[in-house]
Amino acid sequence: MLDELLGRAALKERIAELEEEVHHLERERDAAKDKRADAVSARQEAERQVNRLEDRIAELEGELERRGRSDAESTSRRTEMLRGERLGAVLDRLESFETGPEGAFTALVDAEHDLAEPVRDAFGDRAGLVGRSAPCLAVTDDAGLTAATLSVPDAPDAFETWSDRFEFERRWFEPTGEFALALVRSDLFALGVYDGRERTAFQGFDSDLKSKHSKGGFSQARFERLRDEQIENHLDRCREALADLPTDRLYVVGERSVLSSFEEVADATSTVDATGGPEPALDDAFREFWTVRLTAL
């Protein structure tokens, strides 16, 4: 009855429906992987749908949690996607914040671990919101004037510290200095070398990947084997292209199914939804990777 009065019952029903749809899509994706028979484009679309639905579930769960809190708490949270000049302006404000010794708290929160006790102590009843934003940089002060989290494209190791200012480096959030960003899909590779936001070099190529099994000619098993060989050959070409980079920093983004092949050589990896040819897809991937989610708690 209380859930119905607060409007949470409908949200719970919608979340359950979306979770079932996610499970259905994941089963379809897993079946496609096991049988190795679906087209690559179909697998990509299934993953994009799963990502979109998971994002929607997270939004609805956040709304459900906010409706369960007091009005003051629910109105204190705001989310904004930051990029470009707006991101720079927010980082400027955080850098300008000064207080007395041990008055500003900064933490890099790892999503794979429980919240550290210093984080729970610093944020109090808002610590749960920090945990839901992880991995993130979380900042607050001893007077409670500031409390926010930011997603971190190039995240360092987890830490917690009290200081007279917020402790972070801008290169964690925005493109600075020289670095390389590679977009890897099972049918495409694109590599850009950058100086800040300016791209100074580009390399890209498509791969002729079989996506359909024609009736007759050769067996389904042979088709699957040939396609897997094509994907592996494509990934070998990608690794060769990354072997002699003119910069020390490398970020690899792209399909979730292939990113594990590059975790050892990349400073950071991230799943992105970048479609189209090599150059426009790389531009989309660059913009998505360097977009920061700000949550005011």
Q: Is the residue at 134 inside a domain? A: yes
DSSP string, 264-279: TT-SEEEE----SSHH
Report which DSSP code applies to 172: G
Report which DSSP code applies to 114: P
Give this prediction's pTM.
Answer: 0.68
> Bridge-partner residues for 186, per DSSP?
none
Radius of gyration of the chain (CA): 22
Q: Is the residue at 295 inside a domain? A: no
Cα–Cα dist 102/48, whole Å: 44
202 and 271 share one domain: yes
126 and 198 share one domain: no
Q: Is the residue at 73 inside a domain? A: no
155 and 183 share one domain: no
Residue 152: what pLDDT? 96
Cα–Cα dist 117/184, whole Å: 38
CB atoms near residue 187 (< 10 Å): 17
Q: Could you tell me which of 50, 64, 45, 63 has the C-alpha nearest to residue 2?
A: 64
Cα–Cα dist 71/90, whole Å: 26
Cα–Cα dist 99/106, whole Å: 13
Tell me: cis bond preceding 118? Omega within 30 of 0 counts. Answer: no
pLDDT tens, per residue, the chain with 297 residues: 445 544 567 778 888 888 888 878 877 777 766 666 556 677 777 778 877 888 788 888 877 766 665 444 444 468 999 999 999 999 999 999 999 999 999 999 998 788 999 999 999 988 989 998 999 999 999 998 999 999 999 999 999 999 999 999 999 999 999 999 999 998 899 999 999 999 999 999 987 765 554 555 556 666 567 777 888 899 999 999 999 898 989 999 999 989 999 999 999 999 998 889 999 999 999 999 999 999 998
Q: Are 125 and 74 in contact (CB under 8 A)?
A: no
What 166-173 contacts at long range (C-beta under 8 Å, 24+ apart), as own/partner pairs, is 166/94, 166/95, 166/97, 166/104, 166/106, 166/139, 167/104, 167/106, 168/94, 168/106, 168/137, 170/91, 170/95, 172/137, 173/87, 173/91, 173/290, 173/292
Q: Is the residue at 39 inside a domain? A: yes
Q: Could you tell me which of 18, 46, 20 has the C-alpha nearest to residue 33?
A: 46
86 and 49 share one domain: no
Question: Of 111, 146, 173, which closes a domain?
Answer: 173
Q: Is the residue at 296 inside a domain? A: no
Structural domain of 124: 79-173
* HSE-CB for 128 with a 13 A CA cutoff: 8
Q: Is the residue at 74 inside a domain? A: no
Count of domains observed in the chain: 3
Residue 270: what pLDDT? 93
126 and 210 share one domain: no
